[in-house]
Amino acid sequence: MNTLVVNGDGLIWILLLLFFLAFGVPIILFIIGLALRNKNKKASKALLIIATVYALIGLGICGSSMI
């Protein structure tokens, strides 16, 4: 069985976590919002707005802390 081994200090994992929080969660919410577009327009619109706001806040706070 193969395992993924990433050698390095904890800083790499913190940066990966920040990238996931800044980009991963809004992308997942956006995909779910698009999938619900045909079934429930109100829920879809809410998810797309939440994804946009989350991306703006995530890129603002997380992006500025990575500099």
Structural domain contains residue 7: no
- Please report, in tens digits, the pLDDT of each residue of the chain (67 residues total): 556 666 667 777 787 887 887 788 899 999 999 999 999 999 999 999 999 988 888 777 656 765 5
Vertex 48 angle, CA 13 and 61, to 5°: 40
Q: Is the whole model's pTM more than 0.85, yes or no? A: no
- The range of the structural domain enclosing residue 25 comes to 20-65
Total domain count, the chain: 1
Structural domain contains residue 57: yes
Quick check: 44 and 36 in contact, CB under 8 A? yes
Distance CA 24, CA 2 (A): 25
Structural domain contains residue 58: yes
Structural domain contains residue 12: no
Q: Is the dihedral of CA 42, 56, 59, 65 positive or negative?
A: negative
Structural domain contains residue 24: yes
Distance CA 63, CA 67 (A): 7
Structural domain contains residue 5: no
